[in-house]
């Protein structure tokens, strides 16, 4: 495992980066925003799709299963490919291809989804892009910032998720107000095309050399010793190198537990709200309330992990998640829903950038593979099973038991966290 990040090299808590690093952060944050909106389009337009194609609940669920199957393949394959081609500026090439697959998938969904089978098959490239772009995206931002501010950069870049979670409803409502559900999928190419053009101009070898010189001149730590590296030859070399790290193996389990809790909670939030007498529109708006505070949690906890350690931050996040899920038991009206969900937003998305930074710290040469495995396995498997199990618990024992179980699942995260090795060294004073 690489040497831990030494906090003595930091001059302040205010993040410092080359202007190109900030541009990279802006572009990758836009990509995550696109990913978040992509994930929210289908649930928002599923009623209209079901009505047009005459789908039952099982067929509607099949759409999601096909998407997650593509996500699993895309996450693992694209992460591996990006490491094989090369880290640093070379990773831009793989990332643009992964993003382009989603853009083409969105455009084809608009133009060629005349029947249910065609629409179902077009969910495959959307899943491949969703699974493939995120691990490369995270690795990219981590490789263009000083190691001392990696948690901050990954945290800011991940604010695209809560912002997208809150914005999706408004965007889809605007589209459906003037067009049909197919036009909603055009949001993907409209957002994605400027993003990949911007990254193609920014993510060059020459620009990375400028960033590294800037880092060296200020006594900070390069993301990687070299501009670009490749793992040893051999088809499975990136996978073997990534999986040799205990941090990678235990991080997959830790994130799986968080994602299980998230999938179980969000799937039935609107159902719970409607049962308490709220309208469908009001319930949908409240379900996205955590996005208003989610960006705060990601930036704060990501930055904090740079200075106090990744594990230190994750301990608080596990507890925050468990308390938030238990608090959902007392939601009975819009006021209590706003309070609880805004509180949950401070923790909901924050574990992911912290763990991403941990993985880049741990296996910098195969970070794409490591994060692809984590996203593919943790997100894919939890997406396939968590909602079904949660529905079974709610049907049998109600929402109180449902949230108690989800809180317990999150608290199990202390088990893999205890096995993870800290990658940030804490010191109370700077070195000379």
| 431 domain-assigned | no
pLDDT for 281 beyond 70: no
Task: Find the DSSP H helices in 158-287.
Answer: 160-178, 181-184, 187-202, 205-217, 237-243, 246-267, 269-275, 280-287
- Do 196 and 324 belong together in one domain? no
Arithmetic mean of pLDDT, 277-284: 74
Question: Any idea what the CATH number is for the domain that residue 371 is in?
Answer: 1.20.1250.20
How far, in Å, CA of 181 to CA of 204, rounded? Answer: 38
* Domain count for the chain: 2
- Do 166 and 73 belong together in one domain? yes
| 144 domain-assigned | yes
Domain boundary among 228, 257, 292: 228
Q: Which residues contact 19 (CB under 8 A, 6 or more apart)?
A: none
- Do 28 and 99 belong together in one domain? yes
The pLDDT value recorded for residue 403 is 95
Bridge partners, residue 6, by sequence: 425
Domain boundary among 209, 228, 247: 228
Higher pLDDT, residue 252 or 112: 252
The pLDDT value recorded for residue 8 is 43
Q: Express as a percent the part of the chain with pLDDT over 70.
A: 92
H-helix or E-strand containing 237? helix 237-243
| 432 domain-assigned | no
The pLDDT value recorded for residue 409 is 96
- Do 220 and 316 belong together in one domain? no
In the chain, what is the greatest distance between 2 CA atoms, to the nearest angstrom?
A: 71
Q: Which long-range contacts (CB under 8 A, 24 or more apart) does 333-341 make?
A: 333/276, 333/278, 334/278, 334/282, 334/286, 337/273, 337/278, 337/286, 337/289, 338/286, 338/289, 341/286, 341/287, 341/289, 341/290
Bridge partners, residue 425, by sequence: 6
pLDDT for 1 beyond 60: no
The pLDDT value recorded for residue 316 is 94
- Do 71 and 138 belong together in one domain? yes
| 300 domain-assigned | yes
- pLDDT category at 414 given cuts 50, 70, 90 is very high
- Do 271 and 224 belong together in one domain? no
The pLDDT value recorded for residue 232 is 66
Cα–Cα nearest to 376, from 164, 142, 127, 60: 127
| 310 domain-assigned | yes
| 233 domain-assigned | no
How far, in Å, CA of 358 to CA of 147, rounded? Answer: 11
pLDDT for 9 beyond 50: no
Contact 101, 129 (CB under 8 A): yes
Higher pLDDT, residue 348 or 231: 348
- Do 224 and 314 belong together in one domain? no
How far, in Å, CA of 296 to CA of 156, rounded? Answer: 9
Cα–Cα nearest to 369, from 153, 145, 94, 176: 94
Contact 208, 144 (CB under 8 A): yes
What is the residue-averaged pLDDT of the chain?
84
- Do 209 and 182 belong together in one domain? yes
pLDDT for 49 beyond 70: yes
| Eight-class DSSP state of 229 | -
| 4 domain-assigned | no
- Do 250 and 153 belong together in one domain? no
Segments forming the whole domain that contains residue 284? 238-421
Contact 132, 372 (CB under 8 A): yes
φ, ψ for residue 204 (rounded to 5)?
-105, 165
Q: Is residue 297 helix, strand or coil? A: helix
How far, in Å, CA of 121 to CA of 109, rounded? Answer: 9
The pLDDT value recorded for residue 21 is 94
pLDDT for 302 beyond 50: yes
- Do 206 and 253 belong together in one domain? no
| 347 domain-assigned | yes
- CA distances, 46 to each of 51, 54, 291, 409 (Å): 8, 11, 21, 29
Domain boundary among 228, 258, 273: 228
φ, ψ for residue 297 (rounded to 5)?
-60, -40
- Do 281 and 385 belong together in one domain? yes
pTM of the complete model beyond 0.85: no
- Do 255 and 363 belong together in one domain? yes
| Per-residue model confidence as pLDDT tens digits over 360-388 | 889 888 888 888 888 888 877 787 778 77
Residue 366 exposure: Cα atoms within 13 Å on the Cβ side: 24
Among the residue ranges 19-28, 48-57, 211-220, 299-308, the one predicted with the least confidence is 48-57
| Per-residue model confidence as pLDDT tens digits over 100-131 | 998 998 899 888 888 888 888 888 888 888 88
Contact 145, 153 (CB under 8 A): yes
Cα–Cα nearest to 137, from 31, 229, 272: 31
The pLDDT value recorded for residue 268 is 78
């Amino acid at each position: 495992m690489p040497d831990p990040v030494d906090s003595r090299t930091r001059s302040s808590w205010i993040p410092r980066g080359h202007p190109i690093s900030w541009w990279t952060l802006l572009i990758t944050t836009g990509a995550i925003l696109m990913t978040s909106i992509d994930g929210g389009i289908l649930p928002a337009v599923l009623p209209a799709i079901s009505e047009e194609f005459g789908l039952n609940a099982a067929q509607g669920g099949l759409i999601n299963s096909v998407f997650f199957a593509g996500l699993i393949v895309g996450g693992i394959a694209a992460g591996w490919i990006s490491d094989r081609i090369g880290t640093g500026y070379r990773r831009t090439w793989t990332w643009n291809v992964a993003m382009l697959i989603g853009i083409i998938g969105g455009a084809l969904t608009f133009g060629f989804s005349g029947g249910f089978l065609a629409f179902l098959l077009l969910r495959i490239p959307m899943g491949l892009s969703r699974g493939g772009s995120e691990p490369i995206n995270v690795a990219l931002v981590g490789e263009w910032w000083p190691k001392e501010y990696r948690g901050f950069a990954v945290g800011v870049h991940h604010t695209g998720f809560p912002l997208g979670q809150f914005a999706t409803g408004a965007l889809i409502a605007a589209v459906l107000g003037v067009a049909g559900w197919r036009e909603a999928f055009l949001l993907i190419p409209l957002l994605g095309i400027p993003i990949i053009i911007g990254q193609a101009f920014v993510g060059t070898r020459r620009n990375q050399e400028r960033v590294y010189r800037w880092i060296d001149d200020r006594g900070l730590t390069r993301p990687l010793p070299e501009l670009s590296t490749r793992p040893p030859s051999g088809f499975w070399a990136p996978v073997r190198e990534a999986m040799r790290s205990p941090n990678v193996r235990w991080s997959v389990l830790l994130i799986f537990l968080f994602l299980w809790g998230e999938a179980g909670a969000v799937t039935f939030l609107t159902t719970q709200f409607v049962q308490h007498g709220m309208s469908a529109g009001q319930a949908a708006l409240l379900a996205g309330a955590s996005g208003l505070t989610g960006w705060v949690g990601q930036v704060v906890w990501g930055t904090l992990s740079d200075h106090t350690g990744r594990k230190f931050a994750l301990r608080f996040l596990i507890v925050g998640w468990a308390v938030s899920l238990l608090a959902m038991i007392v939601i009975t009206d819009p006021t209590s829903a706003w309070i609880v969900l805004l509180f949950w937003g401070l923790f909901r998305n924050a574990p992911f950038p912290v763990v991403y930074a941990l993985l880049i710290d741990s296996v910098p040469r195969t970070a794409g593979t490591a994060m692809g495995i984590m996203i593919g396995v943790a997100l894919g498997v939890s997406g396939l099973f968590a909602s079904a199990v949660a529905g079974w618990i709610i049907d049998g024992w109600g929402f109180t038991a449902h949230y108690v179980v989800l809180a317990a699942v999150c608290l199990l995260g202390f088990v893999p966290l205890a096995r993870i090795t800290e990658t940030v060294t804490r010191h109370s004073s700077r070195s000379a």
